[in-house]
Structure 1
């Protein structure tokens, strides 16, 4: 048997996922990335405090990654995204940044958004005010030390949406909007790359914010399939900042 190439693997994965990839797709052009303020994400007054998706009338989507786990997988995912001209949003866990201090700079150097996913990735909505504040501010301080800013977005840990208390604490820490999502890849359940790709591509549409994770091999294998199909559909994967701009 001859050597199986990366193209062969993608074809098998696409077939398993029940998708057909068009050939000759134009490469996506990455748009200019808006620069956040030094304190964090710019306030978008026309939008609610909690955001689940962007405008439905523009061909853009945001792939967002919970930043934790093996940094080698994180780098592989970032490199794969950049090969396709895609930009993503990483919501990093503070202790993960402590363990891998170079990763925050790597994310920004690639033109991606970097945000806050709490210090220790605990159930932040169930905490007291003091505990929740420490989780949010603790991660913000680590991002600031690494990059000079608290980051662009906040996403609560162990829950898709923030309680009113956590929303207020996030705003006080420099995050005007809490970032949720309307497409959950469920990649953290390790269902297989084909299942991850099929679920994302079945639900994603203009303006979607997709929840994905660093640290899972299924996500690495599924990402090329997802990006190639987004290209075929004419949907650009952009940072969350660009999605809402």
Structure 2
């Protein structure tokens, strides 16, 4: 995630005791928010969170065919921040952390529009919500690695940084049979040369960056998120977005409508580069 991003993906639950929200209620309730700068995440009660996780939980051994593995894309740099500019495709990439109900709402909204996403999951989030790995893949989306604990990987020692990458890769392999399709460094837009080398050693030929930052993690309001992305997106763009923010869920239908209006297709990053 962006280096300026506060530690809010995990702390943003609304006040304790609030009733659990369905995805539909979340979308309806967020549509009227304007300029709320609090780092809000949709709340669920302990009961609903437990049931949501258990309903999608998966055994340690993958129950399906192994998930796609990383690919090398000839002609692409080690650190990819956009795809071909000549084709009308874009990749919406999500940093995977936060309330699983919000994540499910984002995935469902994309699927209703025929869009496919790329989710870079934090390993500790998969530990808490293991069923999200299969939910993402079953929706036809890319699933990748966003480190184990979501710390500033560029400031770590070589051994610490490598452990962050491989620990998340191990979770992905245990849950899906693959280390995932992409690696994105945590708390930074671009990986240092050292982190790039460590990612290759762990099995990821490319590091996934982005050329459009939605800034949704600042909770600037639905209009601001929509305006920021719509103003910068173009052929080949890779957009950085996040699970765990109500503004993002509410803005997604507007963004998908704008992508469609421009006759672009929202595809996985793998498809963007293929």
TM-score > 0.5 by shorter chain:
yes
Structure 1: gaps (5+ residues): 17-36
| Residues in 1 aligned to 2:121 and 2:99: alpha-carbon distance in whole angstroms | 13
Deviation of residue 54 (structure 1)? Answer: 0.3
Give the structure 2 partner of residue 150 of structure 1. Answer: 179
Distance 1:97 1:174 in 2: 19
Q: Deviations over 1:171-193 (max 9, x none)?
A: 11111000000000000000001
**1:98-146 deviation line (CA, Å, top 9, x unaligned):** 0000000000000000000000000001000000000000000000000
- Equivalent residue for 1:58, pick from 87, 110, 130: 87
1:228 is matched with which residue? 257
Corresponding residue SS for 1:210 = strand
Partner of 1:243, secondary structure, is helix
Distance change >3 Å, CA 74–CA 65, structure 1 → 2:
same
**Pairwise CA distance, 1:67:** 0.2
Please identify runs of 4+ aligned residues in structure 1 that moved more than 4 A: none
Separation (CA, whole Å) in 2 of partners of 1:38 and 1:58: 26
1:84 corresponds to which residue? 113
| Residues 1:217 and 2:250 aligned together | no
Partner of 1:198 in structure 2? 227
Q: Secondary structure in 1 aligned to 2:161?
A: helix
Q: Is 1:67 matched with 2:110?
A: no
Give the structure 2 partner of residue 160 of structure 1. Answer: 189
> What is the aligned residue count?
216
Structure 1 position 208 matched with structure 2 position 237: yes
Q: How does 1:117-132 map to 2 (within 5 A)?
A: 117-132=146-161
**CA deviation after TM superposition for structure 1 residue 229, in Å:** 1.0
Q: Secondary structure at the match of 1:90?
A: strand
Cα contact 2:67–2:137 (8 A) shared by 1:
no
- Quickly say closer, same or farther: Cα 1:231–1:167, change in 2 above 3 A: same
| Unmatched segments (≥5 aa) in structure 2 | 1-23, 36-65
Distance in structure 2 (CA, Å) of the matches to 1:236 and 1:74: 21
**Alpha-carbon offset, residue 44 of structure 1:** 1.1
Shift in alpha-carbon separation, 1:43–1:149, aligned structure 2, 3 A: same
Task: Encode CA deviations 1:36-62: one digit per residue, 9 max, x unaligned.
Answer: x97831111211100110000000000
Instruction: Calculate the aligned-residue CA RMSD, in Å.
Output: 1.9
